[in-house]
Amino acid sequence: MITKRWSYATAVAAATAVVLAGCSASSSSEPSASDGPVTLTYWDFLDPSQDNPRSNALEENIANFEAANPDITIDLSVVSLGDMLNRLPQSAAAGQAPDVFKMFTPTVPQMAAAGAYSPLPEAASEITDWLRPPSNLVGPDGQQVAVPYEYRTCAFYYNQKILDQIGAEVPTTYEDVVDVAGKAGAAGFTGFGTGFSDTDNSAIISTFFDCFMSQVGEPIWNDDGEAEFAGTAADEFGQILADLRDSGGLGTSVVSDSYSTVTDGLTNGTVAMAVLGSERVITLTGANPDIKWGPLPEPTSGGTTGATLGWTLGIGAGTDHTDAAWKFIEYMTGAEAGAVMATGGEIPTRASTYDAEYFSTPEAETVKTVADYVESNSEPHTYSDDWIGVASGLSAAGQSLYLNKTSGSEFITAAQDAINE
Amino acid sequence: MSTTSAARALDSRTPSSSPAVASRRRRPDRGVWIYVLPVSAVFLFVFVGPLIYTAWTALHETNFYAIGEFSGLTSFTELFADPNLPKQIGTTLAFSLGALVIALPAGLLSATVLNSLHRFKRTVRGLFLLPWLMSQATAGVIWLWFLNPNFGPVTAITTSLGMGPTDVFSSPTSALVGVTLITAWWSYPQAMLLFLGALQTIPGELRESLKMDGGGVWRGFISITLPYLRNTIVSVVIVLLMLYVQMVTIILVTTRGGPLGATETLSMRVFNQTFNDFDLSGASATAILLFAVNVVLTLVAIRFRRKESL
């Protein structure tokens, strides 16, 4: 009898243990950096298994780092930006954030507010040769949480063949853009490629808006962190979109178009003009020789200086390996890794990188040209902790502008209201 | 032996009258708990626990994924005061019932075709099952490419016919119709499999009798097939409705709830509140409402099944 009771008790205890084992968070048995070998978890959107220049450069850099630091292993997880924005706050709340992760500049403050970052170590402040100041990569307490890994800004792309076909000069102002886009639209092309789809986090319209606000020198948020741009020079942005719509310069599928559909359209020769990130210079001009690029068109008041954007690297919240994580970040933003990433078409962020031998070769000409362009045509600015809300608000307002035929000022007001909602 | 003594003797032989025997009978009952407890523990862990946690979250303020102060019914008040809610409930019903109206007959028709096939049965079954073998994300991406207005194959066909490019996801009505059709296309094999299983239980003699009586295909369908499938139809309706009401992936990949919120079902609202707005409290309140909708639909279906079995 006693034996049977014990067997019941043991069975119940075993079942309970199985369930509880599932409940408990996995505890790391990994030693800290100072104790010996360390494995760093690293989230990046690039997949080294793919055969393209950027992925190959990342793979080479990780291999070089591991060879130079035999006690540190990099455990790379490929996570798209959209997934990263969803998963980072969750993993941070669960105490399972990666040791190091890549993040897009405008969303750094939002991820910092979500508690995804650890503060950078003191050593970070010793690096002073960033091409652009990293003062906007901060958390809610104003402390720097990330460093620039790659630079980009907005550029104006156009298809010279289409412009020649419709007898148009290269536009230098947004007013010209509207005229030329109307003519291109009448000739059967998409005059100006942009998109109001929310499926890729509204990447194209939010990037365009970010750069335009830099061009006209208007902040997006007030001191309280509320979006406040309606009734300022930002209204011209809405007016440009409304004029493009009225002139027939927007594509008929603009509501569902995204960043990739516009770049595909430029590559295929169906889109005449677009404002996109400078990171596309090498791929677009390589894929279609008719594609040319240059500075942004000028607004009525303002210049051609867009926002400095790009990818950053930061240390995940709650890491046990801050020293090793910083060592990795320092290497990845350093001269050796920078020269390798430049072979993949990315723009390194530190001045010292450009002293490397690679940058004196003809292959580096385009990268150097884009780097000069970013340095002379962009300025970093601060972001609030709700860039995803800004992007969603802009795409919703854009859909209404096209489908409900709202005015440019209504677009701006609707976007502002949606962001503050 | 008197009646009383006989009864007493019989009574003494009755197992229940003996305490030792009664104890033996109870012991196997106690053993049942070995099986019940783990199942109950898992049920509590994967269903009741999350449900309570969701309700708890809805009753508190949240900052990203951190739960803050108790806020009472604020999230529910905001949910029911939201002017978008009636439209989202309407979209959920239109999407779910629309997909059901397409997938149910498509599943039944394909199951009937498969059941009457004598050759190439495996090949045809494999072809019919193809949509369901793909993940929802893959199905969404394939249709996104297929219907792309700039370079999709459908656009190439419609343009060559002089009808211009297809532009399904750029207007509210066509986007809702589009995601509904894609979802029905992806899910109809699930109905087909359930119907096929039920069709194979119909006795062949019934059809032979019908044939001898001069009954045709239509009479066979009305008088034999449908009565045999009634309960299966109810089961398929429940399974598919649950699937559609909770559908996120196909909508997320193709429209993310747009344009102008035309494809934002309650499930998409939960997704957007969680991952776009990081409003976990509001998303939890919507999730509770969604759960209530599911419970109502299930209860209605269960009640219908009981009536059927009477």
CB contact under 8 A, B256 and A199: yes
What's the pLDDT at A35?
58
Please answer yes or no on whether A389 and B167 come within 8 Å at the CB atom. Answer: no
Q: Does B260 touch chain A (CB under 8 A)?
A: yes
Identify the closest residue of chain A to B49 by CA–CA distance. Answer: A23
Look at B41 and A89 and tell me if their CB atoms are within 8 Å. no
Checking if the pLDDT of A49 tops 90, the result is: no
Amino acid A53: pLDDT? 85
A15 vs B37, B64, B260: nearest CB: B37
Distance to chain B for A199, nearest Cα, Å: 6
Of all residues in chain B, the one with the smallest CA distance to A93 is: B65
Distance from CA of A222 to the nearest CA of B (A): 20
Question: Could you tell me which chain A residue has the CA closest to the CA of B276?
Answer: A388
d(CA B46, nearest CA chain A) in Å? 10
Among partner residues B41, B65, B276, which is closest to A93 by beta-carbon distance?
A: B65
Nearest to B37 among A12, A399, A403 (CB): A12
Q: For chains A and B, what is the number of CB pairs under 8 angstroms? A: 102
Q: What percent of chain B has pLDDT over 90?
A: 56
Q: Which residues in chain B have their CB less than 8 angstroms from residue A80's CB?
A: none
Higher pLDDT, B146 or B5: B146
Q: Does B42 touch chain A (CB under 8 A)?
A: yes
List the single range of A268-272, A411-415, B224-228 with lowest mean pLDDT. B224-228
Alpha-carbon distance of B65 to A96, in angstroms, equals: 13
Contact flag B258-A15 (C-beta cutoff 8 Å): no
Task: Please give the distance of CA A373 from its chain centroid, rounded to a whole number.
Answer: 18
Give the phi and the psi of residue A277 in degrees, each rounded to 5: -70, 150
> Which chain A positions have a beta carbon within 8 Å of B253's beta carbon?
199
**Shortest Cα–Cα distance, A376 to chain B (Å):** 34
Averaged pLDDT score across all residues of chain B: 87
Q: Within the 65-84 window of chain B, which residues sit less than 8 Å (CB to CB) from chain A? A: 65-66
Winning range, highest mean pLDDT, from A237-241, A282-286, A351-355:
A237-241
Cβ(A260)–Cβ(A194) below 8 Å: no
The rounded distance, in Å, linking the Cα atoms of A149 and A342 is 11
- Which CATH architecture is the domain B85-263 placed in? Orthogonal Bundle (1.10)
| Residue A20 pLDDT class (50, 70, 90 cuts) | very low
Question: Buried (b) or exposed (e) across A82-105, using 16+ Cβ within 10 A?
Answer: bebbbbbbbbbbeebbbbbbbbbb
Among A366-375, B85-94, B143-152, name the one with the lowest average pLDDT: B143-152
Note the pLDDT of residue B296: 86
pLDDT of B30 over the 80 cut: no
Say yes or no for a CB contact (<8 Å) between B167 and A395: no
Cis peptide before A134 (omega within 30 of 0): no
Angle at Cα A256 formed by Cα B282 and Cα B179, nearest 5°?
A: 65
Q: Helix B121-133 crosses helix B172-199 at what angle (to 10 degrees)?
A: 140
Domain boundaries, chain B: 85-263
**pLDDT value of position A15:** 45
Domains and their CATH numbers in chain A: 38-148+309-379 (3.40.190.10), 154-306+382-420 (3.40.190.10)
Diameter of chain B by CA atoms?
A: 105
Average pLDDT over residues A348-371: 92
> What's the pLDDT band for A162 if we cut at 50, 70, 90?
very high
pLDDT given for residue A76 in this prediction: 95
Mutate to test the interface with B, among A199, A403, A410 (most CBs of B within 10 A): A199
* A255/B42 CB distance under 8 A: no
Identify from B27, B253, B275 which residue to disrupt to test chain A contact, counting A C-beta atoms within 10 A and taking the largest count.
B275
**pLDDT at residue B97 above 90?**
yes
C-beta separation of B37 from A15 below 8 A: yes
For A103-126, write each residue's pLDDT tens digit: 999 999 999 999 999 999 999 989
B214 CB neighbour count, 10 Å cutoff: 7
Mean pLDDT of B155-165: 88
DSSP state of A321: -
Task: Say whether B167 and A253 touch across the interface (CB within 8 A).
Answer: yes
Residue B35 contacts A, CB cutoff 8 Å: no
β-strand pairing of A306-307 with A378-379: parallel
Q: Is A193 on the interface with B (CB under 8 A)?
A: no
Check pLDDT > 50 for residue A31.
no
Cβ of residue A389 closer than 8 Å to a chain B Cβ: yes
Range B209-233 average pLDDT:
87
**Are A22 and B45 a contacting pair at CB < 8 A?**
yes
Can you give the pLDDT at residue A28?
38
Cβ separation A404–B260 shorter than 8 A: yes
Contacts of residue B260 in chain A, CB cutoff 8 Å? 396, 399-400, 403-404
B31 neighbourhood in chain A, CB within 8 Å: 8
If you search the block for the tokens 């109307």, which residue do you land on?
A: A182
Q: What is the percent of chain A with per-residue pLDDT over 90, rounded to a whole number?
A: 77
Is A16 in the B-facing interface, judged by CB distances under 8 Å?
yes
Question: Looking at the predicted structure, is the pLDDT value of residue A22 above 60?
Answer: no
Nearest Cβ partner for A255 among B259, B276, B278: B259
pTM of the model: 0.84
User: What number of other Cβ atoms are within 10 A of residue B42's Cβ?
Assistant: 14
pLDDT value of residue A224: 87
B260:A396 CB<8 A: yes
- Residue B271 contacts A where some CB pair is shorter than 8 Å: no
Is the confidence at residue A14, as pLDDT, over 80?
A: no
| Amino acid present at A200 | D
Tell me the CB-side half-sphere exposure of residue A412, using CA atoms within 13 A: 21
Instruction: Please tell me the distance from the alpha carbon of residue B301 to that of residue A146, in angstroms, as a whole number.
Output: 54
Radius of gyration of chain B (CA): 28
Q: What pLDDT does residue B15 have?
A: 47
- Amino acid identity of residue B149, one-letter, is P
Angle B281-B285-B288 from CA coordinates, rounded to 5°: 135
pLDDT average, residue stretch B45-59 = 94
Q: Does any CB of chain A come closer than 8 Å to the CB of residue B195?
A: no
**Cα separation, B5 vs B16, whole angstroms:** 18
Residue range B225-279, pLDDT digits in tens:
888 888 899 889 989 999 999 999 999 999 999 899 999 999 999 999 998 889 9
CA nearest A114 in B: which residue? B64
End-to-end Cα separation, chain A, in angstroms: 67
Q: Do B31 and A8 touch (CB under 8 A)?
A: yes
Q: Per residue in A57-101, pLDDT tens? A: 999 999 999 999 999 999 999 998 888 998 999 999 889 999 999
% of residues, chain A, pLDDT over 70: 92
Over range B60-70, report the average pLDDT.
91
Model confidence at A19: pLDDT above 80: no
**Rounded alpha-carbon distances, angstroms, from residue A259 to A195, A199, A241, A277, B78:** 7, 10, 16, 10, 34
Q: What is the pLDDT of residues A227-246, one digit of tens each?
A: 999 988 899 999 999 999 99
Task: Specify the pLDDT at position A24.
Answer: 40
Query: Looking at residue B118, what is its pLDDT?
Result: 81
pLDDT at B21 over 60: no
Structural tokens at position A188: 């059967």
Judge residue B197's burial from the number of C-beta atoms within 10 Å of its C-beta, 0-12 exposed, 13-18 middle, 19 or more buried: exposed
pLDDT score, position B28: 60
Q: What digits encode the pLDDT tens for the residues A170-211? A: 999 999 999 999 999 999 999 999 999 988 889 999 999 999
Residues in A touching B176 (Cβ below 8 Å): none
